[in-house]
Structure 1
Amino acid sequence: MPICVSSENKLLSVIEIKPRRPDGFPWGTPVHLTCEITADKLLKVAVSIDGQEFAVDTLHPFANVALTTEESAIREAEKAVNLSAAQNGGRPALAALKRFEEACIKGGEYLRAAELAETIASLEPKRSRETHICWLYSRAGNPRLAEKWAEKAYDRDRDATSAFNLALQRQRAGNVREYERLMEEALRLDADDAATLVSYGSHLMRKGDKERGREMMERAFECLHARYQDRSLDENDHSRLVIAARALGKPKLAEEVEQAHARMLESTGPYDRDNLLTRDVQSLVKK
């Protein structure tokens, strides 16, 4: 149940209501919602349904700035980290930090997410997070730190992904020879990696090696298009499918994929509209 003030753009919180029954709440189950404004202008919200009670922490409905759903999620996650730290002698729980990082990623605060990821990595030294941190700094527009973490990932585990990421950083720095060497290494480690095939295939076609470049594009397109058709294509791979489709002379398909990706981004949110509470229409019919 989303709690908004003045408009859907000012989301204060989301109350998650979980049924005891595996098949959900029976149709027509009454829901009781209570709201209270305290003397210091804070909002208290509670919900009771089917013998269960749910509530949210005190909210601030009269804030001057309307927050986006992503900004609200970041604030809630940050508050949870601060509370966890207060309860654990100044050291927040790892789970709270991970939720905060995830909220920052969804909200587009990649620099903040990268810094959180570094903290998390220091708490889990046996887990490899270098590639993830490289990606975050790249999205944050910090090429120096992206390259630093790409090198760390490559030194720790030389697989197709780490070779590919470091190749992109070398290309950005203008080191074409090193880019090509690392791309060839990535293909030796995984000859069917679509990301490598699209990037290196595009490079080779621009360079004049159209035959080999097109062969790479065809292989990448076959893999990505199959995933697109069965709706298992990762969000980050939509742009790669668009590049491959255009390189192979399929502009209509490229446009279709771009539109599908735009719809996917529009549909994301902090709650599933299909699971919202609804009125029992029959109870509103006059007898």
Structure 2
Amino acid sequence: MTTRDRLLACFVAVLWGVNFLAIHTSLEHWPPLLLAAVRFLVIAVPAVLLVPRPAVPLRWLLAYGAGFGTLQFLFLYIAMRVGMPTGLASLVLQASAPFTVLLGAVLLRERLAPRQAVGIGLAVLGLGAIAVARAQTAALLPVVLTLLGALGWAIGNLANRLALRDARGPVNPMHLVLWMSVVPPLPMLAASWFVEGPAAWATAFAAAVTPAGVPGLLGLAYTVLLGTLVGSGIWTVLMRRHPAGVVAPYSLLVPVVGMATAAVALGERPSAVELVSAAVIVGGVLLGTPRARPARPGPAEAVAVVAARP
């Protein structure tokens, strides 16, 4: 990678790390399910109107949206609403990487290299340590919910891969990300209507247009514009230019930024166990990341899994 591309990869990691702080701010003003629905709705409407639908099988597009969009953010937003620390959420969500490798091995019969198996084992060990530590303080539920969100992300990753594999011709990965956003709004709105209720909608939208609601809108705007569109757009370009194994490790900077910004802005102080576990998890994910392979010429260069972050 050139120095410019390395800086771009670091910039995306910063955008995605700060995004957890933006989500935290939004959740102080919006019900979690409604917030997730609105987040994707404001992307879905212009996507349907302005972006051509990618030529991928509908089943994989729906599965991508259901996993990455619906399940991931349903569990993540609820977890953060019920007490998952912002910085820790940015770390635990990294479990999507070993989950993706495991699901690929089980469902797609992809070969699991010994190096990847060791990396997954380390990541699971670190996550287990955090779960045990949290269980001592009766705060295990938010960790479990965040892990379920990571599993949803992993399911979305596999669907993304299958969509690109079975595509009818070249596919712009960014178009696939945008059209994935069409899937979550309806189930999220339905869940919000029945769980949070129409009164919560009225309260949230009424408060959003008041001065007190500005931070919530700014957090939502950051998530949509910078976290999703700008971050994913740059990441897609990098994934097209370089092998996935070269670009993907830069995503390990996301929890570093997420935990640092949460410490500065929110005063979060992870325990010693959580800090050691964080190092083990990051090391395990890095070890489990496939080694870079030379890019093959031709249309295959455009086939890359877009690792869009929350």
Which interval holds the TM-score relative to the shorter structure? Answer: under 0.3
Max Rg structure = 1
Structure 2 length-normalised TM: 0.23
Structure 1 length-normalised TM: 0.24
Higher normalized contact order (CA 8 Å, seq sep 6+, divided by chain length): 2
Question: Which structure: greater helix fraction?
Answer: 2
